Structure 1
Amino acid sequence: MMILFHILHLAIRKNMKYFLLLLTGLSCWIQQAQAYTCTLQTSMTTISTANITIARSTPIGTEIGNTSTAITPIYSCTNSDPKLTEQIFGVKAIGTYVMNVGDKRIYSTPIKGIGYAVEGYTYNCQTDVWSGWVGGGTNVDGNANNRGLCSIAGILPRQPITGMINIAYYKTNEVTGSGTVSPGVVAAFILRNNGSWQKESDVSVSSLTVTTIPCEVNQTVISVAMGDVEKKEFKGIGTWPDDSNTKKFDIPLTCNPDAKVNVQIDGDIQNANQGIINLTASNNNATGVGIQLLFNNTPLKLGAPFSTGTTTINGLYNIPLQARYYQTGNTVTAGEANATATFTITYN
């Protein structure tokens, strides 16, 4: 019994010694891992963007808006033996990649034909300002969404580590939509210590409203030749010459599909409900007549928008109008009979 007890006691002592050695090794490892520290000073930055309006003819790849963070302290690091052997600071784009514009990767928004790119700046490298777009190159770890800005063997010399992110918006499709982009994270500041990524500092953009102007006016000045009309063609107030004297003309537009197009005609109005405008004053003016404007053979109401329909294709859209002389007075006298009006195009 005595011998057995002695052997058991020895085994316990050996196990205790081995356990203490493990503790000692763990203590040394913890001390080494904590030789440097990096604290995330700014976990989230939110920026706002001015609303964007896009013309239909804007080329694909055109920058249509941008917004930036302020210069912001992101990380604060300290270093002691054993020191960091490598530190890399950069930025990251967050989203769904759709195309490249030059050296920039473009990421989609929920609105058709609208995307964004991410650019980073840092003031913590050894000299001057370092900047770059997320474009697939200089990505540190093979992730095309990352962009390294500053890399050093050791710790970045200027602390805290500060940075700025620029978000630029681009047209990515021939036809663009309209709507509101909800707030969301689009980018982040990133830091890599000895090959290990640290917690990211996110950048969020507040809601953004995008408006696409779906049509363009192809001809801003439209001349309508009314021709000569005999006085005898007028039969009294509210009459007009033979329909052969009614002149057709178009307001030509180029539009995206599904645009609801409205027109408003303004001028020197004689009777808004009947679509009649007064003649332009001159030394040799005709009297007793005005010019009546019509849409689909019906007098159009002046000074108020009216619907011309909805476009169905991507291309030419003509608004068909008509003009004719209209008797407004008891007596018609001969003379010049010119008039001018302006038109305004709006969309729903």
Structure 2
Amino acid sequence: MPAIRHLCTAFAMLAFAGQAYAAPSCTWASTAGPLSYYIDLGAPWVARDAPIGTLIGTVQTFATPEVTGREIRCVNDGTGTLTFQASPTGALYPGPLPQVGPWDVNGKVMETGIKGVGLYIRLGFPFNGAGSNTFTPTDDVAIPYTGENNRDSGVTPLQIKELYSTMALIKTGPIPTGRQFFSGQMVRSQISFLGDALNIHVSGVVQQAHCTLLANPVSADPVQLGTYTLADFTGPGSYTDAKDFYVTLSDCRDDPAGGIASAYIRLEGAKGSVPLEPAQGVFSLDNKPGSATGIGIQLLRSNDSPMPLQQDEAVTPLVVDKTVLHFKARFFQTAPTVTAGPANGALDFTMTYR
């Protein structure tokens, strides 16, 4: 009988030991200390005048090993709650942003240290709630992140070893000119029982696609439209032969692996000229005393379609080093009667790159 009592006690001790192992806990599998991950986003390009909220480069997905091979292991028998929190080391962009793909990024874009460039990070397994051995996000898998585990993890512990993440750079404002580099710890985190859990370091270079307008960028200024007689104008809507001219953009920079930007032009009346039919590219003469009447000037694209005025119009994708914008211009009859005289007009133009 004493032997039987001793055997029962041993079984009771074994059962108690098994319950202690499964109780909610997180431990370092090897060396203690926060896990560290380093991710390089490369050197993506963005058009200089792209609107706020534009994706810079592409969305990238990573599987990043911990620098020294360390890991965290957590177990849970379902009797308690384990918590993991990840937060940015710096400020979050405070303004509204448009959706990026399927994601609402508002309140989740971190400042990178480059003015006008924000970083958006989404965590993957084991922070996506995909199993009993994962953390389930209380809101979303984007950082700032809070996740909980209150389920029985079973025979497979919750392991944090390789970091699965998705990252995107987002334009949040004007970006300084030149190559802009950032590097540093962007994320810190806390986990139950251990405190500091993991740190995410991110680096990258942001480059802007744009061109420069040098002195005298227009091939002929003024463009000579020619001399005509009144008989050349047969009624409203009639026009003369179009004359070619071009605008040269210099020092153009764009992604050599595949351009991402186009040149946009905005045309406004100048020196007394005003738009008459903006959608048709027609504007008035300068209306100086003695000028011709009943005609204006029409601006055309290189394919002879009207070039609209008073709005930003895409012209052509950028060509590295030099981009040439081809246009045409002609006289255009605007009234039933035309009178002779000097026929001069002018437009101002503004270039943007998107």
Normalised by the shorter chain, which TM-score bucket?
0.3 to 0.5
The TM-score, its normalising length taken from structure 2, stands at 0.43
Which has the greater radius of gyration?
1
